[in-house]
Structure 1
Amino acid sequence: MISRRSVLLGSAVLAGAGLFGRPDRAPAFTRPLPPAAPVGEESIVSLDLKAAERSLSLPCFGGKSLPLWTFTDAAEPPVARVRLGQRLNTHLVNGLTRPGEHVSIHWHGIRLPNDQDGVPYLVQKPVEPGESYDYSFVPPDTGTFFFHTHCNSVEQLGRGLFGILIVEGDAPEPYDADELVVLKDWRIDEAGTGFLPFLTNEGAGKAGTFGTVRSVNGAIRPDINLPASADVRLRVVNVDPTRLTEIGVEGAEAAVVAIDGIACQPFPLRSWRMGPAMRVDLIVRTPPDGGTATLVDYFAAKPVPLARLVASGPARRQGPFDPAPLAAGRIAPPDLASAITMPITFSATATGAAVAELAGDGAPLGPLCLSQSNLWAINKASWPSDMHQIPPPMAQLERGKTYLFELRNVTPHMHPIHLHGHSFSVLKSNRRDLPPHHADTVLLQPKERLQIAFVADNPGKWMIHCHIIEHQETGMMAWFEVA
């Protein structure tokens, strides 16, 4: 249950109202972003991935093994690291044995060539069981990204088919530590030996179907060991198919330095709300030797501890907290004076509204609820239930021109809206103050109108969809073409 306090605090991220555990306003940071990182010489980084079912255990499984679907023989997600300018060559093998369980890889947030984007049917042939596929691209941006499959995503993500991609070279002043913080729920049955259904009618028609076990880096409330009195980078990645979180740090000063991989002007962290697929890079000044701080989720009736930050060793930093900014991104600035405005409305269909109403009344939901049409729509059109049936494009964009998308959420639920192939500037909202930043996924609040702008400089066919995967797979997905 979301408390009124949590909602108010989330909408006042920069307004200075209601600081979590801190009675006074944190100081602003004024150090400017350094220039974009230089591009190094091209070299090859190879990555071999085999999607397969493997009986594996994570610490959050309580000593039991589960039939995970993973890209490697480890239960933990693979982490690919490349430096800016390096080419990532990936060989994907589909080792899943369920008939028709095809896969592909979407490199989330990467502004790559369209034929590498990994959307089956739209830009590539799906990789059927026993087949393989090769991806090859040079990431144009530094930062924190991830990759996941883009077909039957609610189950494939739910079982573990994802990985992390880090493009290095954005820290002119090195931090004292650099740690990944991967947030994910698992829908585990009561016996702890199998999975519950990943998509439910009630969840799909409302806020999504939540996991039963919350994990950070595969563990429940783990300790993350860090140097003491240090400025450490935490790359927080929400890979969950459903859960929204509102990240905060208690017991230490913290700042946001990047959103969705791209540097922003550092600002003090009070809380930052993250939908599925969103990332945030934090700099935390750790406590002295022996001290602890807590990474928390405020999107609940009371704060939920996610992980404990444990500091040890000699002090690394002296003086006030003034985090070093990351190098500026390489995103083309939008020309707002000549921008072409397009309203994009996210809504429920008649069937979706009926399902939500039935669920709210406690009525049983059977499979016939989903039989006639999808639950969600973009500009009054739903993606067909048969995913290989490509509908007409939502829009045709002219390459090189600036577009201002006015995202309108007319539903009572939040929707993290993801744009493929581009990073956009978040401009303004009718409901809240937001810091200037780039993003590839933005969280739309109920009844919100939010403006984003970008230069349509990447030709091809690109998806736009809600990243609550049940919403995506029940209609809230469309595509546009840049030519």
Structure 2
Amino acid sequence: MVRIGRMASPPATPEFSLTRRDLIAALGAAALCPTLPATVSAQGRTAVALQAKPDRISLRPDGPGPSGPETPVWSFGSGDLRFKRGEVLDVTFGNDLPVAAALDCRGLDGIAAAEPLASRALLAAGGKDSFQLPLRHAGTFLCEPLLADGGTAPARPRPLIVTGTSPVAVDRDEVLLIEEWRLRPDGSAIPAGNDPKDSTQIHTINGKTSYDISAPANARLRLRFINGSQRSVLAVKLENLDVRVMAIDGQPAEPFPARNGALVLAPGSRTDVFVDAAGPAGTSFAILLHDGKQARPVGKLAISNDPPVRPAPFPPAPPLPGNDMPAQLDLKSAARFELTLGTPTEWFRPADFKPSAAPAFQAKAGRSVVLALTNRGAIASVFHLHGHHFRLLDRLDDGWKPFWLDTLAIEPGQTQRIAFLAEYPGRYLIEQVATDWAAPRLVRWYSVQ
């Protein structure tokens, strides 16, 4: 069980303690980047084939002697999916898994026709489906399988990167997908939603138990951190580096420094940062990961022996180009609804979901919506809104934090209020999951008319 609270580090690693409130306080000091005029232009159509299928990955640390057994997993293939803003993807989704599955693309707003469960049923084993994904926003997104019950292996997500139409001044753009595994003694892994008894917890970055990045002095790196863990809130820290947050959950923010160089990521959350490789050749900076129990090194950023790419680091970066998000939300006339998290009442496992079930709420297109999310469970719960990004409201409901989110972790006993503009008509999912490996993924749906 992971609690979102103070995290104490073991003596063997550098001190690394923070709370989720620390990150929120740092975010609260930033101002949202200005809304820019629409820059989306038709980029044509691109055919994309995604096949959910059994795969294998080596999760044992490298060392002398015979390597450990490879671990069976389910995946959509390896590597990042990269496209440009304005493209329309003609997706063919095939399911070669032994259980029913659907494609879930986290963070892509307003694509009701491709919405899993609400518009597209779980695809039976051996089936195929086709639909379109218009890429209206640039940012860091995530494709993952939404599965029926009966999974026997963990399902790996796959990053989806949508680049903007304007260039961004970085020397390197790299995704760091953090995944959590619960390994049995025989090297097999326990899928989320099952009891992890007698398992060993490990983490990987881009499928490796230790991930190193090398860059010449004064290079600017855009690092896209993704929490691909199914259940755990994680914190990641780059030791002794100036880490500037540029985007959260795929939406640009006014740049601000991450407090103590640390980021807190709920399951499925994404944070883009800029880091300058400042220092003499041979300098290295540890990448630390905190799972709520202890901090451990999972990699490093090293300054290579190559000549510096420029005489001095870049000056501070301007905001990323905007995604035409709503400039204002009318809270006074907003439609208001209450949702209870932490209990299965009125929520469904994906395999039990029926489109005929009553919606959690209904909103009129063009109207602001305020949701009061109360966690009645004993541990933190994670809420995910499909179809729209939202603002986290201030406690007095008289304003909002200056960033957009699609995922939020809520402490037990807390109520958080969020607001969004019901911009895209259609039916969309909402999700909740407790931060416990054995907890089920639960869904409902809402409509915009």
8 Å CA contact 2:94, 2:129 repeated in 1? yes
Q: Which residue of 2 aligns with 1:283?
A: 274
1:186 aligns with 2:181: yes
8 Å CA contact 1:143, 1:170 repeated in 2? no
Q: Which residue of 2 aligns with 1:323?
A: 317
1:309 aligns with 2:301: yes
Q: 1:468 and 1:294, CA in 2 relative to 1: closer, same or farther beyond 3 A?
A: farther
**CA offsets 1:250-302 (integer angstroms, 9 cap, x no match):** 12111111000100111111233211111000111223232111222344344
Q: 1:199 and 1:301, CA in 2 relative to 1: closer, same or farther beyond 3 A?
A: closer
Deviation of residue 468 (structure 1)?
5.0
Q: Which residue of 2 aligns with 1:66?
A: 71
8 Å CA contact 1:427, 1:436 repeated in 2? no
1:261 aligns with 2:226: no
One-letter amino acid of the counterpart of residue 52, structure 1: K
The equivalent position to 2:263 in structure 1, one of 272, 285, 300, is: 272
One-letter amino acid of the counterpart of residue 284, structure 1: V
Q: 1:321 and 1:443, CA in 2 relative to 1: closer, same or farther beyond 3 A?
A: farther
Deviation of residue 335 (structure 1)?
1.8
The equivalent position to 1:243 in structure 2, one of 216, 232, 247, is: 232
8 Å CA contact 1:276, 1:468 repeated in 2? no
8 Å CA contact 1:88, 1:138 repeated in 2? yes
One-letter amino acid of the counterpart of residue 418, structure 2: I
1:133 aligns with 2:129: yes
**CA offsets 1:21-75 (integer angstroms, 9 cap, x no match):** xxxxx9x888955735721333122221222223454675855323222223xxx
1:126-205 paired onto structure 2 within 5 Å: 126-152=122-148, 155=151, 159-169=154-164, 172-192=167-187, 194-196=188-190, 198-200=192-194
The equivalent position to 2:103 in structure 1, one of 105, 120, 124, is: 105
| Aligned mates of 1:154, 1:211 — CA distance in 2 | 22
Pairs aligned (count): 425
- Where 1:277 maps in the other structure, the secondary structure is coil
8 Å CA contact 1:176, 1:227 repeated in 2? no
Q: Which residue of 2 aligns with 1:398?
A: 364
Q: 1:471 and 1:191, CA in 2 relative to 1: closer, same or farther beyond 3 A?
A: closer
Deviation of residue 15 (structure 1)?
4.4
- Where 1:186 maps in the other structure, the secondary structure is strand
**CA offsets 1:158-198 (integer angstroms, 9 cap, x no match):** 53342111110176432121111000012221122x23364
| Aligned mates of 2:204, 2:150 — CA distance in 1 | 17
Q: Which residue of 2 aligns with 1:335?
A: 330
8 Å CA contact 1:46, 1:89 repeated in 2? yes
One-letter amino acid of the counterpart of residue 125, structure 2: P
One-letter amino acid of the counterpart of residue 225, structure 2: V
Q: What is the alpha-carbon root mean square deviation over aligned residues? A: 3.2
Q: Which residue of 1 aligns with 2:12?
A: none
**CA offsets 1:170-228 (integer angstroms, 9 cap, x no match):** 76432121111000012221122x2336433589xxxxx98622111111121122232
Q: Which residue of 2 aligns with 1:371?
A: none
| Aligned mates of 2:257, 2:317 — CA distance in 1 | 10
Deviation of residue 445 (structure 1)?
2.1
Q: Which residue of 1 aligns with 2:410?
A: 444
Deviation of residue 137 (structure 1)?
2.2
1:92 aligns with 2:93: yes
1:456 aligns with 2:422: yes
Q: 1:255 and 1:406, CA in 2 relative to 1: closer, same or farther beyond 3 A?
A: same
Q: 1:434 and 1:311, CA in 2 relative to 1: closer, same or farther beyond 3 A?
A: farther
8 Å CA contact 2:33, 2:322 repeated in 1? no
Q: Which residue of 1 aligns with 2:14?
A: none
Deviation of residue 321 (structure 1)?
5.6
1:44 aligns with 2:45: yes
- Where 2:323 maps in the other structure, the secondary structure is coil
Deviation of residue 344 (structure 1)?
1.9
| Aligned mates of 1:314, 1:51 — CA distance in 2 | 43
Q: Which residue of 2 aligns with 1:366?
A: none
The share of aligned pairs that are identical, in percent, is 23
8 Å CA contact 2:367, 2:421 repeated in 1? yes
**CA offsets 1:328-378 (integer angstroms, 9 cap, x no match):** 222223222322222222133xxxxxxxxxxxxxxxxxxxxxxxxxxx34x
8 Å CA contact 2:138, 2:323 repeated in 1? yes
Q: Which residue of 2 aligns with 1:11?
A: 21
One-letter amino acid of the counterpart of residue 11, structure 1: R
One-letter amino acid of the counterpart of residue 348, structure 2: W
Deviation of residue 125 (structure 1)?
2.9
Unaligned runs of 5+ in 2: 9-16
Unaligned runs of 5+ in 1: 17-25, 204-208, 349-375
Instruction: Flag the structure with higher helix content.
Output: 1
Q: Which residue of 2 aligns with 1:54?
A: 55
8 Å CA contact 2:193, 2:437 repeated in 1? no
Q: 1:115 and 1:337, CA in 2 relative to 1: closer, same or farther beyond 3 A?
A: same
| Aligned mates of 1:170, 1:153 — CA distance in 2 | 41
- Where 1:439 maps in the other structure, the secondary structure is coil
| Aligned mates of 1:189, 1:386 — CA distance in 2 | 26
Of 300-309 and 467-476, more deviation after overlay is shown by 467-476
- Where 1:13 maps in the other structure, the secondary structure is helix
Deviation of residue 459 (structure 1)?
1.3
